[in-house]
Chains A and B, each alone.
Chain A
Amino acid sequence: MRQEQSLNSSLIFKKTSFCRKIFYTLLLYAFMFIVGCANVNSQETQSGSYAENPYALADSLLTKVFSVYQNYTRDGFERLVSQDFNPIRSEFIDTVEKSFYAGNILEMHCFTDKALLSSDKLSVNFKWQKKMLPYGTKEVALLTGAANFVFKHENGSWRIYQVSGDSPF
Chain B
Amino acid sequence: MQNSLKVGFNRNGAIFILSLLSFLYVIPAYSAKVFCLAQLLPSTNNYYNSSVPTVDPAIPANSFSLSKRWNDLFDFSSYGEYGKERSGRISGAFSQEIDWQNIGGNHTKSFLTQGMDYLSELHVNIQEKLWSDYNFESRFFIRKTDNKYIDPRRDARLKEFNLRVLNSNSLYELGNIYADFSQFVLGSSLEGYNIQIAPNSFQKYYVIAAREHPADESAAKFQRNFFGGKADFFLFKDSNIFSNFRVGLQGGATRDDGATLEHTIYTQELRNLVGSIDGEISFIKIFSLQYEIARSGYVADYLAQSKNYNSGTAFRVQPALNFDKFSVRYLYYYVQPEFYTNFGSASADKRQQQVTVDYRFNDKADCSFIENYYYDRLADSLRDKRTVNNEKYLNFNFRPFTSRRDLNLRPYINYLSTYSDDDRNSLKSKTKTVGFSVNDTLSGKTTYGLNYEYRAFEDGANDKAMSEWFQRVGVNLGNEQQLLNRRLYYYVEPSMDIRRTKTDDDKDINFILSFSGQYDMYNNLITRFGYNLQNTDSAVPDQDFVNNRSFFEFDFLLSQKRSTHVVFRAERNWFKYDDSAQDYNETRTILKFITNF
A43 and B52 within 8 A (CB):
yes
- Complex interface residues of chain A between 125 and 145 (CB less than 8 A to chain B): 125, 127, 129, 131, 133, 135-136, 138-140, 142, 144
The number of inter-chain residue pairs (CB within 8 angstroms) is 276
B130: contacting residue among A28, A42, A104, A122, CB under 8 A: A42
Q: Is A6 an interface residue (CB 8 A)?
A: yes
What is the interface size of chain B, counting residues whose CB is below 8 A from a CB of the partner? 132
CB contact under 8 A between A75 and B412, given known A97-B433, A116-B178: yes
Contact for A40 among B108, B131, B543, CB less than 8 A? B131
Known: A6-B1, A150-B187. A90 touches B370 (CB 8 A): yes
* CA gap between A91 and B349 in the complex, in Å: 14
B422 to chain A, nearest CB (A): 20
The answer, yes or no, to whether A109 is at the interface (CB within 8 Å) is: yes
B56 in the interface (beta carbon within 8 A) = yes
A114-B160 CB under 8 A given contacts A21-B12, A138-B542, A162-B187: yes
A9 to chain B: closest CB distance in Å?
7
Whether the Cβ atoms of A24 and B13 lie closer than 8 Å is yes
Interface membership of chain A positions 19-43, coded 1 if the CB is closer than 8 angstroms to chain B and 0 otherwise: 0110011011101111111111111
A37: B residues at CB distance < 8 A: 64-66, 69
**Considering residues B168, B333, B433, which has the most beta carbons from chain A within 10 angstroms of its beta carbon?**
B433
Q: Is the CB of B129 within 8 A of A42?
A: yes
Chain B contacts for A40, CB-based, 8 A: 61-64, 129-132
CB-nearest residue of chain B to A7: B1
The CA of A34 and the CA of B160, in the complex, are separated in Å by: 26
Cα(A45)–Cα(B545), bound, Å = 55
Min CB distance A3 to B, Å, is: 11
Of all chain B residues, the one with the shortest Cβ separation from A75 is B412
**A167 at the B interface (CB under 8 A):** no
A14 at the interface (CB under 8 A from B): yes
Q: How far is the CA of A35 from the CA of B135 in the complex (A)?
A: 12
Q: Please, which residues of chain A bring their CB within 8 A of the CB of B2?
A: 6, 9-10, 13
B440: Cβ under 8 A from any A Cβ: no
> How many residues of chain A have a CB within 8 Å of chain B?
84
Give the chain B neighbours of A46 by CB distance below 8 A.
Answer: 50-53, 127, 137
Most buried by B among A27, A71, A120: A71
Please name the residue on chain B nearest to A141 by beta carbon: B109
Chain A residue with Cβ nearest B436 = A75
Contact A41 B61, beta carbon cutoff 8 Å: yes
Q: Which residue on chain B has the smallest CB distance to residue A129?
A: B111
Is B123 a contact of A53 with CB atoms below 8 Å? yes
A41, A86, A107, A116 — most chain B CB neighbours (10 Å):
A41
CA distance A101 to B498 in the complex (A): 11
Q: Which of B223-231, B267-275, B387-395 contacts A (4 or more CB under 8 A)?
A: B387-395
One of A17, A24, A75, A114 near B5 (C-beta < 8 A): A17
Cβ of B326 under 8 Å from chain A: no
Say yes or no for A111: interface residue by CB 8 A criterion. Answer: yes
B527 vs chain A, min Cβ distance (A)? 20
Indicate the member of B132, B162, B329 with the most A CB atoms within 10 Å: B132
B19 within 8 A of A: yes
Minimum distance in angstroms from B84 CB to a CB of chain A: 6
Contact B130 A10 (CB under 8 A): no
Interface residue ranges of A55-89 to B (CB < 8 Å): 55, 71, 73-76, 78, 83, 86-89
B455 is contacted by which of A10, A55, A101, A125 (Cβ under 8 Å)? A101
Chain B residues, CB < 8 A from A142: 108-109, 111
The interface residues of chain A lying within 8 Å CB-to-CB of B435 are: 73-75
Contact (Cβ within 8 A) B49 A136: no
Whether the Cβ atoms of B20 and A27 lie closer than 8 Å is yes
B391 adjacent to A45 (CB under 8 Å): no
Q: Would you call B425 an interface residue if the criterion is a C-beta within 8 Å of the partner chain's C-beta atoms?
A: no
Which residues of B are interface residues toward A (Cβ below 8 A)?
A: 1-2, 5-6, 8-9, 12-13, 16-17, 19-20, 23-24, 27-28, 47-56, 59-66, 69-70, 82, 84, 87-89, 91-93, 108-109, 111, 123, 125-139, 141, 149-150, 155, 159-160, 162-163, 167-168, 176-178, 180, 183, 187-189, 329, 333, 335, 345-347, 350, 352, 354, 356, 370, 372, 374, 389, 391, 393, 395, 410, 412, 414, 416, 431, 433, 435, 437, 451, 453, 455, 457, 468, 470, 472, 474, 493, 495, 499, 508, 510, 534, 536, 540, 542-543, 545, 547, 549, 573, 575, 577, 579, 582
Given contacts A36-B130, A117-B178, 20 further A-B contacts (CB under 8 A): A14-B5, A17-B12, A34-B66, A36-B128, A40-B63, A41-B133, A42-B129, A43-B53, A43-B133, A46-B51, A51-B50, A52-B91, A53-B93, A90-B389, A90-B393, A94-B389, A106-B575, A119-B47, A162-B187, A162-B345
Q: List 19 A-B contacts (CB under 8 A).
A: A13-B6, A20-B9, A27-B16, A35-B28, A35-B131, A40-B130, A42-B129, A42-B135, A45-B128, A73-B453, A88-B350, A90-B389, A90-B393, A106-B547, A118-B180, A123-B178, A139-B582, A140-B109, A142-B108
